[in-house]
Structures are given as structure tokens and as C-alpha cells.
Amino acid sequence: MESGSIKPGGICTAVKSVEVGSTGTNPEHCGGVAFELGLLGDFRLRHGEATVGLTPRAEHLLAFPALRKDRRRAAVSVQLWPDPDEAQARGCLPSTLWRLPRPNGLPLVATGGDRLCLTTFVQLGITGLRDRLDQRLSGEAPPVKSAERARR
């Protein structure tokens, strides 16, 4: 299981068990961010044009740190596995973390002490939308052409 450090505000800064610079594990080798996690509409994890196959448990586990502020292991366990007793719920989390795919050897979730976060290899699809909206609101973005409006 990967370990990482988490700065105040829940931002993951490193993944200890991944050798930075080794082929396939450096975000720079992937053109910066390796994966885009889409949470609006259909859930999807994309690597370029390819979609990464995920189990429902993996989808839930990836969505949780993306959407929730409380990323403590206990909170994640209780929210994702409310039916089993607390001990079973705590056991489900490490099992699901261990089973998460590591496409191209890249980890998707990191742990830091009692907290979880998405690694720096994963960018939320909504981040790009938010950036474009911020540009438009600040007047930095070019106006949308009428042909682009017609396609939407």
C-alpha cells in the first residue's frame, strides 16, 4: 500500500513507495497528470483516450477523497461499508486499497497516517471545468464562438 504525505488542507504531496524518475511512475513522463477522474455524469477514470476499468468499490473509494473533506480512514470505512460491524468495515478499507488498480504502475490513492487522498497522478475532471469558469469570469478566456454554442 502506498504512503504519502498530506499537507494542511488535504493536499497529497508525495507517494513514498513509488520511485520518482523510474519509467512510468513520474507524472512528467505522462505529460503532467496521468489520469483524469470524471465525477459528473458517468463515473470514469481516463488515461488519455483510454478508460480504466474499475470495480464499484474502487469507484466509491476514488470518489470519496475527491468529494469529502473528512478523509480519515474511520470516516471512509463507516461511509463506504455501513452494514458490517465496525471491525469488518475497517478490514474492508485496506483490502479495497490493496485491490485498487495501478495502471502503468501508478498509484491512484495514497495514505498518510490516518488519512487518504488521491495521488498527484489523478486530476479531477471538474478541476479543468472550474479553471475555465474562473478564466471566463475574470475575463481572461476568449469568448465562445457561435459555432461552439450550437454544438453544446
- Does position 4 have pLDDT exceeding 60, yes or no? no
The H or E element containing residue 42 is: none
Beta strands 109-112; 4-7: pairing state: unpaired
Span 52-98, pLDDT tens digits: 999 999 999 999 988 888 889 988 988 898 876 777 877 899 999 99
Rama region for 77: left / alpha / beta (φ>0; ψ in -120 to 50; rest):
alpha
Which one is predicted more confidently, 149 or 113? 113
Q: How far apart are CA 59 and CA 62, in angstroms?
A: 5
Average pLDDT, the chain: 74
CB-based contact 104:47 (threshold 8 Å):
yes
pLDDT-based confidence at residue 51 (cuts at 50, 70, 90): very high
- Does position 19 have pLDDT exceeding 50, yes or no? no
pLDDT-based confidence at residue 32 (cuts at 50, 70, 90): low
Domain annotation for the chain: domains and CATH numbers? 4-151 (1.10.10.10)
Q: How far apart are CA 9 and CA 12, in angstroms?
A: 9
- Please give the share of the chain, as a percent, with pLDDT higher than 70: 69
pLDDT score at 74: 87
Contacts of 104 (CB under 8 A, 6+ apart): 24, 25, 30, 34, 47
- Does position 18 have pLDDT exceeding 60, yes or no? no
The H or E element containing residue 90 is: helix 86-99
Q: How far apart are CA 87 and CA 45, in angstroms?
A: 30
* Amino acid in position 57: R
- Does position 5 have pLDDT exceeding 70, yes or no? no
